[in-house]
Amino acid sequence: MSLKAQTSDPTKPLSVIDWLGSQPVPAAPPVQKKPDEPAVARSALPPSVDVAPLSNGSPRQIGLVPAHVTGLPASLWRGSDVQKIAKLLERLPELSLPAAQSLLYTVLLADVDAPGGIAAAGDTLALLRVEKLVKLGALDPALSLIEQAGVPTSAAHFDLWMQISLLTGSEDRACATLRAAPHLTNDLATRIFCSGRSGQWDNAALTFGSAQALGLIPEEKLALLDRFLHPDAFEGEPPLPAPRKMDPLSFRLFETIGEPMPTGNLPRAYAVADLRDLAGWKSQIEAAERLTRAGALPDNRLLGLYTERQAAASGGVWDRVAAIQRFETALQTGSTDAVAKTLPTAWRAMQDAALETTFAQLFAADLQKLDLTGRTASMATVIALLSADYETAAAQSDPADLATQIAFGDVTGSRPAPSIDAALFDGFTDAAPRADLVATAQQSRLGESILHILRLLEDGAQGDANALRDAVATLRALGLEDIARRASLQILLLER
């Protein structure tokens, strides 16, 4: 008989107490008590003891993108040590190849098991992934991932959630959570800020006074909080100097007291604040370009800003805006002549901004529909090879060209002279993959292997031919063929 069938109301789940009360109680056998008889051991051996690790909670998969989308297994980090993952992420260099950036985001957002099947390790890994996303400037997915992991999980989880919320302007939700559970943070400055945001000025002032008297908050932040709590007392005072090291709360406090900080020299995550309507159009575009270069912003978001209104001046970003607007207008007319006239300027503008793959993703498909000739036809082919639809472009290209062969993953012919081209040739022909990285992947540590390969790819992009050869060969051996081809085409075609 099922448990559910024994409930009086079949629509309600059966509690443990209900289930126990519904079972027939067996009659207990009579017990013959012999209080004077000592216990008799059946053996002289010590009793056996079952040993099991203390439970850290049930491990769960954490991630935003399922395996059938990423192509990566849930066991990506299962065999890894979380401290080693932390070191690999910390030492990973800034990635310049869009294909490498894309692979890193896939790894960070993949829905995966906890390392070692230990829940606490899974929580720590979630924090590491969110911290890396924040450094990249990808605050929206970082916010979603930390919320999925559970912001009340630990003080570290909550503090990171609060930092992201401050940078995205969604701190009211975080402050409401803190009011309901004050134990979630030990940061007195955050408590003061949240009390003020919710209108609890007396509580904020009391905490501020105590922290000031006991020296519990640095002087720089105390000065900021003082102006936040007592704006009238500082009417007409000169602006505060920028702190030696900016943090999200200080950044938000400067904005709150009417002294917003420029983000150009701050870490990339702060640029997200300039995407809001509070910033000027030029600042929004510059922030969007910076984030798009890092793969942290959708390409269409940048295009939307480029075409939002007419350029207000000339030079720099305004020339780029004008070039993109003229090109898009020409493309919409379907005029081959108009596109041929505007494409070179637009393409050169995007090359200057290191946004070639963004341009390719936005416009390659439409360019392939036009009957371009000469220089613009060659330019359109390069743009298409830098897009996700590189195979279609290769079908219309010279089959003997190395870029065409890489696009099909079938490199033949004579090996080029020793160079980056030769490294790519070797990576797609007879070069052996890195045996250590393949072995690591076979031990349910594929994530570690990928982080090592990303480092090799970046070294290869900077001119290390051996690193590039090993990276390409190992990517292919691990089944990451699309990344191998896209990264190779970008190294081959991007003029940087």
Residue-wise pLDDT for 32-45, tens only, equals 444 444 444 444 44
Please report whether residue 172 resides in a domain: no
- Mapped onto helix, strand or coil, the DSSP state of residue 62 is strand
pLDDT of residue 311: 84
**C-alpha 12, offset from chain centre:** 41
d(CA 402, CA 412): 9
pLDDT of residue 320: 96
Please report whether residue 475 resides in a domain: yes
pLDDT of residue 147: 97
Domain that holds residue 466: 317-493
pLDDT of residue 58: 61
pTM of the model: 0.86
pLDDT of residue 57: 53
Please report whether residue 138 resides in a domain: no
Continuous segment of H or E residues that includes residue 74: none
Please report whether residue 427 resides in a domain: yes
Question: Phi and psi dihedrals of 362, rounded to 5?
Answer: -80, -35
Please report whether residue 257 resides in a domain: no
Please report whether residue 333 resides in a domain: yes
At 255, list the tokens. Answer: 């904005």
pLDDT of residue 35: 45
Please report whether residue 272 resides in a domain: no
pLDDT of residue 118: 95
- Residue stretches of the chain with pLDDT short of 50: 1-56
Please report whether residue 364 resides in a domain: yes
pLDDT of residue 52: 37
Taking the alpha carbons at both ends of the chain, their separation in whole angstroms is 71
Question: 486 and 99 in contact (C-beta within 8 Å)?
Answer: yes
Please count the structural domains in the chain: 1
DSSP-derived letter for residue 371 is -
pLDDT of residue 434: 98
What 52-58 contacts at long range (C-beta under 8 Å, 24+ apart), as own/partner pairs, is 56/118, 56/119, 56/120, 56/121, 57/119, 57/120, 58/119
d(CA 52, CA 329): 68
**C-alpha 322, offset from chain centre:** 31
pLDDT of residue 278: 84
d(CA 415, CA 429): 10
